[in-house]
Each structure stands twice: as structure tokens, then as C-alpha cells.
Structure 1
Amino acid sequence: MKKILIINGPNLNMLGIREPKKYGTYSLNFINKKIKHYFDKKIKLFFYQSNSEEKIINKIHEFYGIIDYIVINPAGYTYYSYSILDAILSIKVKYIEVHITNIFRNKRKKSIFSKNAICVITGMGYIGYIIALAYLIKMF
């Protein structure tokens, strides 16, 4: 059974409250339950969210040798956290980058994670996580 760590970055704990017209009305807890419902018997899932770059890095290191893949929504760290990217690369795990909104609509437009990702799913709401996991099940 494949083991996948789903990482959510800063402010995603505020989903459902924060700018609902932009990010939707579902909480992160609701989204995690939906994901678990779809994939519970197919893959082993680990969920983690933090507003702290250090804690995300430590969590990635903690899962060295345990997981097969990462699905990450780096949120505000998308554009500059080489430390999180280096942590993922250091444990030699393939990953998919997911964003709830279309990140290419904002002024920064460039993710540092995209170059090394299996793929990038952006602007599809929480369904992006489900697509990422379905892809990992089918393709790898």
C-alpha cells in the first residue's frame, strides 16, 4: 500500500473562514475527511498542516524512509521556501504540487516547487488533492 504525506502550508488552517469567495467555504478538516473517504482503503494517508516553515521541514525529515510520495500545497511558501523544497529533495521522494486557487493569476506567478514536481495542479479547489492522489495511484 502506497504511503503519502499531504502537507498544507501557512494559513490553510483558515480555509472556510479566509476569503471564502476565493478559497471556498470548506474547512481543511472537511477537505481532509473528503480525501480520506475517497482513498482510505487504497493508500495510507498522513495529513500535516503548519504555519511554520521549520515545522514543515521537520515533518518532512520525520517521514524519511516511511512515505512513497508527498502532495504539497506550500501556500505562502510557494515562491521562496527553498528550505522546504530542499527538505523534500533531501529525502528523495517524488511530489505533486497542489494549489486551491490559480496561482498564476497573482503577481508572483512562479513557484519554486514546480520544476521538480511530478506535476502541478492549480485552481481546482480541493478537488486538486483528489486528482493528485488518483494520479499517484494510477501512474506509480
Structure 2
Amino acid sequence: MAKVLVLHGPNLNRLGTREPDVYGRITLEELDDRLKRLGREWGLEVTCFQSNVEGELIDRIHAAEDEFDYIILNPGAYTHYSYAIRDAIASVRVPVMEVHLSNVHAREPFRRVSVTAPVCRGQIGGFGILSYEMALYAVQRWVKQSSEPGGEVDAKSH
């Protein structure tokens, strides 16, 4: 069973109450429960972690290399300026999928630039909690493809 680490960055602990017109009304706990349930249905073991602290997210990315097969990451505002998180992603062999609840490209100009996306396998945003579910689905497809004869997938390529 493939192991997936879902990392939520700053302010995502405020889901459900923080700008619900932008981020929705679902709480972080509800989102995590939903991802774990979907993971079980799709043959994935999902572990979730949230922090408002950049260093804690970096430590989790580093530690994931020995424990997880994939990372789904919502870096929050760190997306736009954290070269430290970008470098952490680039330093591990674990494929990372960047997710965003809102469509960052349709918001303020500073949100349109991601310093982390270039070292991620892909980026999904603008679909609310479905962004996370689509990222988890992509992981499930990578796992399935890599188990098929001749179906090796380079999930780290960027």
C-alpha cells in the first residue's frame, strides 16, 4: 500500500472559518478525514499534518523520504516566497503534488507566482477540496500505472 503524506501549510488550520467564500466551509479535520477515507478506498495510506511553521513543514518533507511514497502539499502563502520549502522539495526523491483550494492565478498578482511548483510533479488549484482529491487521485493512478507491466511512471520528473 502506497503511503501518502498530506502537508497543509499556514492558516489552513482555519479552514471553515477563514474566508469561507474563498476557501469553503469544510474544516481541516473534515478534509483530513475525507482524504483518509478516499485513500483507503483507493488503496493508499494517507497521513495528514498541518503547521503554520515553515521549519516544521521542511522537517516533514525531509523525513518523508524514508517513510512516504508521495507528498501532497498545500504550502499556503509559502508558495510565493519560500525558497527553503522549494529547496526541501528538490532535495528529496519523493514526488510532490502542489495543491491550492483557490485559483491562485485569478487572485492578487503576488499569488500568481509559485516558487515551489517548478520542483513539484504538478499543481492543482481552484477546485476547493476537490483540488486535494484530484491530487490524491493522481497519486492513485501513478501507483496503478507503476504496477502494470511496462507502466513505469517517472512521478518525480519536472
The TM-score, its normalising length taken from structure 2, stands at 0.84
Higher normalized contact order (CA 8 Å, seq sep 6+, divided by chain length) = 1
Identify the residue that residue 9 of structure 1 maps to in structure 2: 9
Residue 116 of structure 1, CA deviation: 2.0
Number of residue-to-residue matches in the alignment: 140
> CA separation in 1, counterparts of 2:65 and 2:135?
21
Q: What SS class does the counterpart of residue 40 from structure 1 fall into?
A: helix
Where in structure 1 are there 5+ consecutive unaligned residues?
none
Structure 1 stretch displaced more, 33-42 or 95-104? 33-42
Q: What SS class does the counterpart of residue 7 from structure 1 fall into?
A: strand
Is 1:122 matched up with 2:119? Answer: no
Identify the residue that residue 72 of structure 1 maps to in structure 2: 73
Higher Cα radius of gyration: 2
Identify the residue that residue 58 of structure 2 maps to in structure 1: 57
| Contact in 1 for aligned 2:89/2:120 (Cα 8 Å) | no
> CA separation in 2, counterparts of 1:16 and 1:72?
19
CA deviations 1:81-132 (Å, max 9, x no partner) are: 1111211221221111100000012212111111122211010001111111
**Code of the aligned partner of 1:58:** D
Identify the residue that residue 33 of structure 1 maps to in structure 2: 33
CA deviations 1:46-89 (Å, max 9, x no partner) are: 11100000111112222222111110000010011111121122
| Contact in 2 for aligned 1:65/1:91 (Cα 8 Å) | no
Give the CA RMSD over aligned residues.
1.1
Aligned pairs for 1:101-112 (under 5 A) are 101-105=102-106, 106-108=108-110, 109-112=112-115
| Contact in 1 for aligned 2:104/2:125 (Cα 8 Å) | yes
Instruction: Give me the identity figure in percent.
Output: 36
The TM-score, its normalising length taken from structure 1, stands at 0.94
Q: Which of structure 1's runs of 4+ aligned residues deviate more than 6 A?
A: none
